[in-house]
Structure 1
Amino acid sequence: MTAATGNTTDSTEGSGGAEVLFDRRGRLGLVTLNRPRAVNALTAGMVDLLLRQLTAWAADDGVASVLVQGAGERGLCAGGDIVAIYRDMLHGGNGTADFWKTEYRLNSLISRYPKPYVALMDGLVLGGGVGISAHGNVRVVTERTRMGMPETTIGFAPDVGGTFLLSHAPGETGTHAALTGAHLAAGDALFLGLADHYVPSSALSSLAVALENERPEDAVARYTGQPPASELAAQREWIDACYDSDDAGEIVTRLRTWTGPGQDAAAAAADTIEAKSPTSVKVTLASLRRAAALTLDEALAQEYRTGLRFLQGPDFREGIRAQVVDKDRNPQWKPATLAEVLPAQVDRFFEPLDGGELDLQAKEADHA
């Protein structure tokens, strides 16, 4: 990851040992996620700090633009701290729900930030990392970018506005990305509408320095390179044909029986989907279809609703156990197949919450 260089640091905004560093470099507000060993995975404390500082900078005339980057060489952000979520589920706490409330408020703020919000999406950008970058208005990818929403792998569904973003991707490419959890290279991120600019990773440090006193559009234009082609764009024929259904079982059948160009890739996608949590796959598909007609804030509220239902079910905990805790990569999903997940079970994920819906209206007032 790039580490911007400059000559001023406001010690009141961060310290070297903090999980998030906030610096002032000229007219640039610099955010560095600072958990490199965890690929800068987001904790509850981090999202609270981010929401507070971005709210303050939005009203600060001395800050013309904001830059978000990750410490270390592995990525901007690998998502939320799912081990913390696992522990919270084991102890029946409310920590995860509170974390999501703040995180989704942060995502909403970023989407309508009043100043240029530049995200350096270098390396891994997964889950929550998408939420703090892809909602910005100056989104930079590199040849090292590996982006994705892999939630179905851990018995969950895309959140942080991911259902909104992917439901608005060209054709059914967003559906494919969501159900398979595929990692996306720079060309695919640009094609899906998750990023705006391609800059070689070797130029990121120079770009960060330029942003200290230049307009982002001028600085980024000087370092923009020719992006690689999108593999998904080249596979639109079979992706659009196979995923154009509201039934996950029908999608898998179409993938398995596809005989045109891309036959092997379609069959591999079917294998991938069938290895995911069946409940997650069906809820994700329903979420995407609904999100296509929602605003981002409405989609975030829907994701909060479904997320709390995942906390109550078995697959989210089992998915984290299998992938991250025990690492046996052998989750035991319940139900075990797509056919066993009934429509009524999926519908329950979208029912109103007894304890109240996500409130995105009082967000910055509490963090000013």
Structure 2
Amino acid sequence: MKKKLFIFSNESISIEDNKYYCDNLDLKSTPEGLNKKFEVNLLGRKSLKKRSHEIKLKRIKVFTNIFSYLSEVKRATKNKDSKFLIISISPYTFLVSLFIKILGGKPIVYLRSDGFGEYKAILGKMGLLIYHFMFNITGTISNLISCRDYILRGKKGKLLSPSQLDSVWLRQPKNAEVKNFKLLYVGRLRVEKGIFALSELIRNKRDIALTIIGAEKGSSNKINQSNIKIFPTQSNKTKLIKHYDDHNIFVLPSFTEGHPMVLLEALARRRPVVIFEEIKHVIGDKKGIFVTKRNFLSFLGTLNNIKKNYKKIQKDMKKNKLPTNKEFIDKFIKIIDDFN
């Protein structure tokens, strides 16, 4: 008999025809993967907006306020021999971790990104103070898992490399030409993701085209430029891969990142990646990632360097050893099992 695993998330989940949807692919694929070993129960916040990815789990509950959420947390802790996994630290999940601890459990907290950087980008110094408070308390009462050692800030924890890659992603990519710069960004339209800063950087630059995949369905956006096309989050893997293959350079403009899976996707399709100085730590030993400064002269110079050496760069990228989703899930299961 499978052990129960309760997964608590701050992500928004919508319901349509008794099916559940989210925008963050990780919230779909990770619980589904863990469900092969555990009896996964997923809890999240209810969204009135239609989300993109169907979560194929039998046990999902969503809540409109923190009180009903915590009431369900209380019920969950009555299940003996259960495990409690919290995805990321937010005001919601911070309270969940406290509740689990008070009720006699010990939460496992999975840190997918650098909350310090994200809260600073959104709220400035006040954001740093808020996250510092939540992080220190949560880190003291929880078992931690992180995608990067620096995110743990010296606290004890296990390291895990997330990935969505499978055999389909790793198939031979389509050949690309670089007559013009056809840039691609896959991700959310949020301040901390740097996408608004990138749009300003290439404003009125007719020789640079940017496609954005990741707008929320039914929502308006603040970007209106002739050289930028914006599409909703893409839930179809084949269509998403085609977007990568139809462009020649991937851009990740984030001010903060932990272990960006879109970077792995771009490398799998052998599309050179441009990042900015704030997240140069994501490079590691990977080939095909280039760092630029946040000014147009530096950015254009980086693009031209890639264009000049495109074939050689792609040849070097073949040497990359990229983690797969199966490896990620197998290690995640082992880590959860090892925590008492």
Q: Which has the higher helix share?
A: 1
State if a TM-score over 0.5 links the two structures.
no
Normalised to the residue count of structure 2, the TM-score between the two structures is 0.27
Which structure would you say has the larger RCO, counting Cα contacts within 8 Å and 6 or more residues apart? 1
Q: Which has the higher strand share?
A: 2
Normalised to the residue count of structure 1, the TM-score between the two structures is 0.25
